[in-house]
Amino acid sequence: MVSFSSISRNFSDGVALVAGAGSGIGRATAERFADEGADVVVVDIDDEAGGETVSRIENDGGNATFVRTDVSDSTEVKAMIERALEEYGRLDFAVNNVATGADPAPVTDISEQDWDRVTSISQKGVWLGLKHEIPALLDSGGGAIVNTASHAGIRGSPGRTPYSASKHGVVGLTRSVTLEFAADGIRVNAVCPTIVNTRALQSMSPEEQDEVTAGVPMGRPADPAEVASVIVWLCSDDASFVTGHALPVDGGQTQR
């Protein structure tokens, strides 16, 4: 008989790596892991932003280490895991959360350079994360991974084909890798947010913000903490039989 207790039960001795933790959903996720008692490896390409996340966690009494990494660079991703293991000796949870986009354009006008840049960060970056995180999780006896996909990974997104194709790829990676490692005690899920109140939304005018949130049935963007809580729940023992899902966190938008 499985018994359930506090959500924090499996985090107090755990180590969580969060990529893209210098801002937005990644920072909120790193902070939530730390609140739940995990040691956190804060990964970002931006030293200042990553350092600020570590300071925020430490000021709240948590434990975190910044590892500067470009998630699209295989050498750096390999070194990221080596550094995490050097610091904490194990890895239990990983969140592959970095993506980028290009200026909106029909597929016929996308440059090869933009296609390669967007897909190498948003899709190849997730694959590289999985490739190097999974052996570390296996050495720790199993664990859980969450990949941040998007509404654009389960629905068409005209004008944003490199991003949407990457996010569909992230969902495909999630489903396939689930089957490769389910029997080894590794669960892999994806979250699919729509509009979240992070840098991209904050850089828009109020009119543009109203326009993009109009499609959300709940009539507002998500707070980053509302996505972070789902990510951390998916990593928790309370989701112990949940794997292979691409879970919309979207205020109902997928039901339109």
Rounded CA gap, 249 and 219, in Å?
A: 14
Decide if 38 contacts 14 (C-beta within 8 A).
yes
**29 contacts ligand NAD (rule: CB under 6 A):** no
Q: Measure the CA–CA gap between 184 and 45, rounded to whole angstroms.
A: 31
**Token pair in block for residue 136:** 């570390």
The distance of closest approach from Cβ of residue 251 to ligand NAD in the complex, given in angstroms and rounded to an integer, is 11
Instruction: Write down the least CB distance from residue 157 to ligand NAD, Å.
Output: 10
25 part of the interface to ligand NAD, by CB under 6 A: yes
Task: Give the three-class secondary structure for 65.
Answer: strand
Instruction: Select the residue interacting with ligand NAD from 30, 80, 94, 99 (CB under 6 A).
Output: 99
What residues between 203 and 242 interact with ligand NAD by CB under 6 A? none
- Residue range at the interface with ligand NAD (CB under 6 A); choices 1-9, 20-28, 178-186, 234-242: 20-28
**Is residue 98 involved in binding ligand NAD (CB under 6 A)?**
yes
- Residue-by-residue DSSP string for 190-225: EEEE--BSSHHHHTS-HHHHHHHHTT-TTSSPBPHH
28: nearest Cα among 47, 69, 56: 56
* 193 belongs to the binding site for ligand NAD (CB under 6 A): yes
The reply on whether position 119 binds ligand NAD by CB under 6 A is no
Mind telling me the catalytic residues?
163
List residues near ligand NAD by CB under 6 A.
19-20, 22-26, 44-46, 49, 69-72, 97-100, 121, 148, 150, 193-196, 198-201
